[in-house]
Structure 1
Amino acid sequence: MQKTVLLIHAHPEPTSLTRTLVEAAKTSLLASGHRVLESDLYAMNWKAVFDAADFPQRVNEDRLCFVSESGNAYAKRAQTQDVEDEQAKLRQADAIVFQFPIWWFSFPAILKGWVDRVFAYGLAYGYKDAGNQHRYGEGGFAGKRALLSVTVGGPFEDYGARGINGSLEQILFPITHGTLFFSGMEVLPTFAVYGTGRLSEAETGLAIEGLNNRLDGLFTDAPIPFRAQNSGDYQDKHQLAAEIAPGRTGIVAHHAEPDLFV
């Protein structure tokens, strides 16, 4: 069955591994019969800074409150056209693939700015104008799948369970859990290529093969088993109930299979 996949990527260099993987992903998804939408943020000259210019019709001209202005702009279809266009892609997408290099343990700034501006109040958060009632497993993006496909300069050893940089999945927790799962998406385990500054042609081929294999499972692989807010694990919708993951604290406590979250 044909699905629609939004491929969002962020790298300014056309010959980069990121862009190589983007082209490979498009080829693979199209060959599988899927429809591909694309957001090439550098080619789009995407405005990364979230500021007053995002709100042509202000609720309060004296003080900028992003929540109220975002909610008003989204509800009244008074957002800037670039944001409207990206939200339209998101609505159509059954899955979103984010392809980017890890820069300082996170998104490139242009991609973070895409999230800041596109994930509006009433859509990605504050869903149905119900405050925090619909988050972490629910929300405007419920039913959509997400995959981070990242390139990492350092070796795998730096990002293993005891690596000096910390576990990659835990480093990316603010994105996978705090951005994507928060807004309702089912988030797949991250696909990563390590040591990207020194890849041989053969290793690049293996990276492409690995990504293609993951894309084959984009709609069938099990997502990361994050605990949903309204599953009963968070009885007050803020903290885990005492009987859930006893003795566990921090990031791993919010993962239903914490021993696998390394």
Structure 2
Amino acid sequence: MHALVVTAHPSPRSLTAELARVTRTALEGSGWSVEGSDLYAQGWDPVVRLEDYGDAEDGAETVTLRSRRAYDVGTLAPEIVTEQDKVRRADLMVLLFPMWWHGMPAMLKGWFDRVFVNGFAFGLQDDAGLPRKYGDGGLVGRRMLTVVTAGDRGSSFGPRGQNGDLEQLFFPLLHGTAWYTGMAPLRPHLVSGVDRPGWDGFGQEADRLRERIAGLRAERPIPYRALADGDYGRDRRLRPDVLPGESGLGVHECVDGHRLAGAGSVDLNRR
């Protein structure tokens, strides 16, 4: 089993960087092979540019179409191809970053913007011509663990916390990026309260992260509903008979225990 550890923090002495080192060591100790993408250390450019696609002309095509053509013909920028190859090799992707303004740093968002292009992570169809997304897609068969550091106390990120429920805050990443492309997201791992004066919880948090990693193979992902399950109608809304009268982001989880789709695999080497 192979893991990709993606880190987004400008300081090599940050808590995020230290947790990344703990993560790599713990994964290797559990039998994983590991490679990394330290985005700041790599000097990763998070900005999407037309040059990413070997096309500097400002035509009428969308970025989605340009990126798909570049992916198909092999003209993506070399640094994008390098990161895509890392993702291809991974059975597990671990993201480590600080929560900035209730989200991931722009550096990491830009990594997704440039690497997860049409044809690679999404934009695929099944044999019947139906879209492969939400539980299926270019990255099906992989898992994703998000390790987030936050300044405020953990209780503030609960269902009744002032900062909002953590899984709902990261719904765009967990559901709209990972699950959309076929990856099975695990529940995010929060390291909280780190901005408190005199915080000295690194040892405890490192042990908690090691314990989490040791049990990853047996951990059940967030049971999001898959598009192929039939819970959604043609309008991509839940059918009226599914959780009638309920709304909100929580309705997209399977609380009745029916099967979790997206357990198959796809050949990512096709272009």
What TM-score does the superposition give when structure 2 sets the normalisation length? 0.89
What is the total number of aligned residue pairs between the two structures? 255
1:189 & 1:19 partners in 2: Cα distance? Answer: 21
1:43 & 1:21 partners in 2: Cα distance? Answer: 16
Structure 1 residues 235 and 64 mapped into 2: Cα distance closer, same or farther (>3 Å)?
Answer: closer
2:130 & 2:249 partners in 1: Cα distance? Answer: 20
1:186 deviates by 0.8
CA contact (8 A) 1:83 1:117 kept: yes
- Once the two structures are superposed, residues 90-118 of structure 1 have per-residue CA deviations (whole angstroms, 9 ceiling, x without a partner) of 00000000000011111100000000000
1:250 deviates by 2.0
2:139 & 2:129 partners in 1: Cα distance? Answer: 16
- Once the two structures are superposed, residues 148-183 of structure 1 have per-residue CA deviations (whole angstroms, 9 ceiling, x without a partner) of 011011111221211111111110101000010000
Question: What residue identity is the alignment partner of 1:95?
Answer: L
1:64 deviates by 4.6
1:87 & 1:39 partners in 2: Cα distance? Answer: 11
Question: What residue identity is the alignment partner of 1:122?
Answer: G
Structure 1 residues 201 and 251 mapped into 2: Cα distance closer, same or farther (>3 Å)?
Answer: closer
CA contact (8 A) 1:229 1:237 kept: no
Q: 2:85 aligns with which of 75, 85, 88?
A: 88
Percent identity between the two aligned chains: 39
CA contact (8 A) 1:226 1:256 kept: yes
Q: 1:115 aligns with which of 101, 104, 112?
A: 112
Question: Secondary structure of the residue that 2:16 maps to in structure 1?
Answer: helix
Q: 2:100 aligns with which of 98, 103, 114?
A: 103
Structure 2 residue runs of 5 or longer lacking an equivalent are 257-271
Q: 1:226 aligns with which of 224, 227, 230?
A: 224
What TM-score does the superposition give when structure 1 sets the normalisation length? 0.92
CA contact (8 A) 1:170 1:251 kept: yes
Structure 1 residues 255 and 199 mapped into 2: Cα distance closer, same or farther (>3 Å)?
Answer: farther
Larger deviation, residues 174-183 vs 130-139: 130-139
Question: What residue identity is the alignment partner of 1:97?
Answer: V
2:199 & 2:55 partners in 1: Cα distance? Answer: 52
CA contact (8 A) 1:102 1:151 kept: yes
Structure 1 residue runs of 5 or longer lacking an equivalent are none
Q: 2:177 aligns with which of 173, 176, 179?
A: 179
Q: 2:16 aligns with which of 9, 15, 18?
A: 18
- Residue 124 (structure 2) pairs with residue 127 (structure 1): yes
1:57 deviates by 3.7
- Residue 5 (structure 2) pairs with residue 7 (structure 1): yes
Aligned ranges for residues 44-83 of structure 1 at < 5 Å? 44-57=42-55, 61-83=58-80
Question: What residue identity is the alignment partner of 1:28?
Answer: A
